[in-house]
Protein backbone atom coordinates (compact mmCIF):
# COMPACT_ATOMS: atom_id res chain seq x y z
CA UNK A 1 0.00 0.00 0.00
CA UNK A 2 2.80 2.40 0.89
CA UNK A 3 4.63 1.71 -2.36
CA UNK A 4 1.39 2.25 -4.28
CA UNK A 5 0.73 5.59 -2.60
CA UNK A 6 4.32 6.69 -3.13
CA UNK A 7 4.26 5.77 -6.82
CA UNK A 8 0.87 7.48 -7.25
CA UNK A 9 2.25 10.68 -5.71
CA UNK A 10 5.37 10.49 -7.87
CA UNK A 11 3.28 10.02 -10.99
CA UNK A 12 0.29 12.17 -10.13
CA UNK A 13 0.69 13.98 -13.43
CA UNK A 14 -0.18 10.71 -15.21
CA UNK A 15 -3.61 10.49 -13.54
CA UNK A 16 -6.37 11.56 -15.90
CA UNK A 17 -9.09 13.56 -14.11
CA UNK A 18 -12.51 12.08 -14.66
CA UNK A 19 -11.25 8.48 -14.57
CA UNK A 20 -11.71 6.16 -11.60
CA UNK A 21 -9.00 6.76 -9.03
CA UNK A 22 -9.45 3.31 -7.45
CA UNK A 23 -8.78 1.57 -10.78
CA UNK A 24 -5.69 3.69 -11.40
CA UNK A 25 -4.36 2.88 -7.92
CA UNK A 26 -5.19 -0.81 -8.37
CA UNK A 27 -3.24 -0.91 -11.64
CA UNK A 28 -0.24 0.66 -9.87
CA UNK A 29 -0.55 -1.90 -7.06
CA UNK A 30 -0.75 -4.73 -9.60
CA UNK A 31 2.34 -3.48 -11.42
CA UNK A 32 4.33 -3.26 -8.18
CA UNK A 33 3.22 -6.77 -7.21
CA UNK A 34 4.22 -8.25 -10.59
CA UNK A 35 7.62 -6.54 -10.39
CA UNK A 36 8.14 -7.94 -6.89
CA UNK A 37 7.28 -11.45 -8.09
CA UNK A 38 9.75 -11.13 -10.95
CA UNK A 39 12.48 -9.86 -8.65
CA UNK A 40 11.84 -12.67 -6.18
CA UNK A 41 12.08 -15.29 -8.94
CA UNK A 42 15.39 -13.86 -10.10
CA UNK A 43 16.74 -13.80 -6.53
CA UNK A 44 15.79 -17.46 -6.19
CA UNK A 45 17.56 -18.33 -9.45
CA UNK A 46 14.39 -18.78 -11.42
CA UNK A 47 14.92 -15.86 -13.79
CA UNK A 48 13.78 -17.63 -16.92
CA UNK A 49 10.08 -17.29 -17.56
CA UNK A 50 8.20 -19.45 -20.03
CA UNK A 51 6.80 -17.14 -22.71
CA UNK A 52 3.69 -19.30 -23.09
CA UNK A 53 2.71 -18.66 -19.48
CA UNK A 54 3.97 -15.09 -19.20
CA UNK A 55 2.10 -13.84 -22.25
CA UNK A 56 -1.27 -15.33 -21.33
CA UNK A 57 -3.63 -12.70 -19.97
CA UNK A 58 -6.80 -13.87 -18.33
CA UNK A 59 -8.97 -10.81 -18.93
CA UNK A 60 -12.04 -12.26 -17.22
CA UNK A 61 -10.04 -13.03 -14.08
CA UNK A 62 -8.53 -9.53 -14.08
CA UNK A 63 -11.98 -7.95 -14.42
CA UNK A 64 -13.41 -10.11 -11.62
CA UNK A 65 -10.47 -9.22 -9.39
CA UNK A 66 -10.94 -5.52 -10.12
CA UNK A 67 -14.66 -5.71 -9.36
CA UNK A 68 -14.02 -7.58 -6.10
CA UNK A 69 -11.34 -5.08 -5.06
CA UNK A 70 -13.71 -2.19 -5.77
CA UNK A 71 -16.46 -3.84 -3.72
CA UNK A 72 -14.13 -4.49 -0.79
CA UNK A 73 -12.78 -0.94 -0.86
CA UNK A 74 -16.31 0.46 -1.03
CA UNK A 75 -17.38 -1.63 1.97
CA UNK A 76 -14.31 -0.59 3.94
CA UNK A 77 -15.05 3.01 3.00
CA UNK A 78 -18.48 2.74 4.66
CA UNK A 79 -17.02 1.66 8.01
CA UNK A 80 -16.89 4.21 10.84
CA UNK A 81 -13.67 6.23 10.75
CA UNK A 82 -11.97 4.46 13.65
CA UNK A 83 -12.71 0.99 12.25
CA UNK A 84 -11.71 1.97 8.70
CA UNK A 85 -8.44 3.47 9.92
CA UNK A 86 -7.65 0.37 11.96
CA UNK A 87 -8.53 -2.05 9.14
CA UNK A 88 -6.33 -0.18 6.68
CA UNK A 89 -3.39 -0.01 9.10
CA UNK A 90 -3.48 -3.68 10.08
CA UNK A 91 -4.73 -5.41 6.93
CA UNK A 92 -3.70 -2.88 4.30
CA UNK A 93 -0.38 -1.62 5.61
CA UNK A 94 0.59 -4.74 7.53
CA UNK A 95 1.07 -3.12 10.92
CA UNK A 96 0.95 -5.44 13.92
CA UNK A 97 -1.79 -4.89 16.47
CA UNK A 98 0.83 -3.38 18.82
CA UNK A 99 2.17 -1.02 16.13
CA UNK A 100 -1.33 0.12 15.19
CA UNK A 101 -2.20 0.66 18.85
CA UNK A 102 0.93 2.73 19.40
CA UNK A 103 0.36 4.73 16.22
CA UNK A 104 -3.27 5.49 17.12
CA UNK A 105 -2.55 6.00 20.80
CA UNK A 106 -5.08 3.41 21.97
CA UNK A 107 -4.81 0.14 23.93
CA UNK A 108 -4.18 -3.04 21.92
CA UNK A 109 -7.58 -4.33 23.09
CA UNK A 110 -9.21 -1.40 21.29
CA UNK A 111 -7.47 -2.44 18.06
CA UNK A 112 -8.72 -6.02 18.48
CA UNK A 113 -12.23 -4.77 19.25
CA UNK A 114 -12.31 -2.43 16.26
CA UNK A 115 -11.11 -5.19 13.94
CA UNK A 116 -13.66 -7.68 15.28
CA UNK A 117 -16.46 -5.14 14.86
CA UNK A 118 -15.27 -4.23 11.36
CA UNK A 119 -15.09 -7.90 10.30
CA UNK A 120 -18.59 -8.49 11.67
CA UNK A 121 -19.97 -5.43 9.92
CA UNK A 122 -18.28 -6.35 6.61
CA UNK A 123 -19.61 -9.91 6.86
CA UNK A 124 -23.15 -8.64 7.53
CA UNK A 125 -22.96 -6.25 4.60
CA UNK A 126 -21.63 -9.00 2.33
CA UNK A 127 -24.50 -11.31 3.32
CA UNK A 128 -27.15 -8.78 2.26
CA UNK A 129 -28.57 -9.29 -1.26
CA UNK A 130 -27.18 -6.76 -3.69
CA UNK A 131 -24.40 -5.77 -1.32
Residues 51 and 70 in one domain: no
Residues 85 and 111 in one domain: yes
Residues 107 and 94 in one domain: yes
CA dihedral (6, 116, 81, 101) positive or negative: negative
Domain boundary among 56, 78, 94: 56
The pLDDT assigned to 97 comes to 94
Nearest 5°: phi and psi at 19?
-95, 170
User: Contact, 11 vs 5, CB < 8 A?
Assistant: no
Residues 37 and 80 in one domain: no
Residues 12 and 73 in one domain: no
The pLDDT assigned to 58 comes to 65
Residues 6+ apart with CB under 8 A from 103: 89, 95
Residues 52 and 64 in one domain: no
Residues 103 and 89 in one domain: yes
Domain interval for residue 40: 1-56
Percent of the chain surpassing pLDDT 90: 23
The pLDDT assigned to 106 comes to 94
| Residue with the larger pLDDT of the pair 120 and 55 | 120
Residues 73 and 121 in one domain: yes
What confidence tens digit (pLDDT) does each residue in 93-112 have? 888 999 999 989 999 999 99
| Residue with the larger pLDDT of the pair 113 and 39 | 113
What confidence tens digit (pLDDT) does each residue in 44-84 have? 665 565 666 656 666 777 777 778 778 888 888 899 999 99
| Residue with the larger pLDDT of the pair 91 and 22 | 91
pLDDT at 92 over 80: yes
pTM: 0.52
Amino acid sequence: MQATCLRALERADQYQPGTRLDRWLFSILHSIWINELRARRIRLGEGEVDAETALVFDGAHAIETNILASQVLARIGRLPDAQRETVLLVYGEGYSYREAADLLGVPIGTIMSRLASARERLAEEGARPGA
